[in-house]
Amino acid sequence: MARKSRRKPGGLDDLKRMLWDALVQVEWVLRSAGEEQDREWVLKASHALSQLGGQYVRLLEGSELEARLAALEARQSDAVWDVALQD
């Protein structure tokens, strides 16, 4: 029996790209449904847009917070070394 190879887990950048691609596709669906006046698809696409948009914003906020925390930790580490070298 052939063994399935496991996919390597993606990172945050992969997830951001996937969410963004999905948002672009939903935008296209929303515009197309609006032109055809398909109310059901407009509602579905609007719901998908709000869900994806919310998750995308949370991911961006988390990524930004992680970067800011890493910068603060680096500064703190540099400051500790500066003090240790002065003693």
Give me the number of domains the chain comprises: 1
* pLDDT tens per residue, range 4-52: 777 787 888 899 999 999 999 999 999 998 888 889 999 999 999 999 9
Both structure tokens of 53: 């948009």
For residues 67-82, give the mean pLDDT: 85
Note down the domain range covering 24.
Answer: 13-86
Q: Is residue 37 part of a domain?
A: yes
Residue 87: the pLDDT is: 63
Band of pLDDT at residue 2, cut at 50, 70 and 90: low
In a domain, 82, yes or no: yes
Q: Are 41 and 31 in contact (CB under 8 A)?
A: no
Euclidean distance between CA atoms 69 and 22, whole angstroms? 29
Q: What is the 3-state secondary structure (H, E, C) of 66-80?
A: HHHHHHHHHHHHHHH
Asked if the model's pLDDT at residue 82 lies above 90, the reply is no
Q: Is the dihedral of CA 60, 19, 55, 35 positive or negative?
A: positive
Q: The pTM is what? A: 0.68
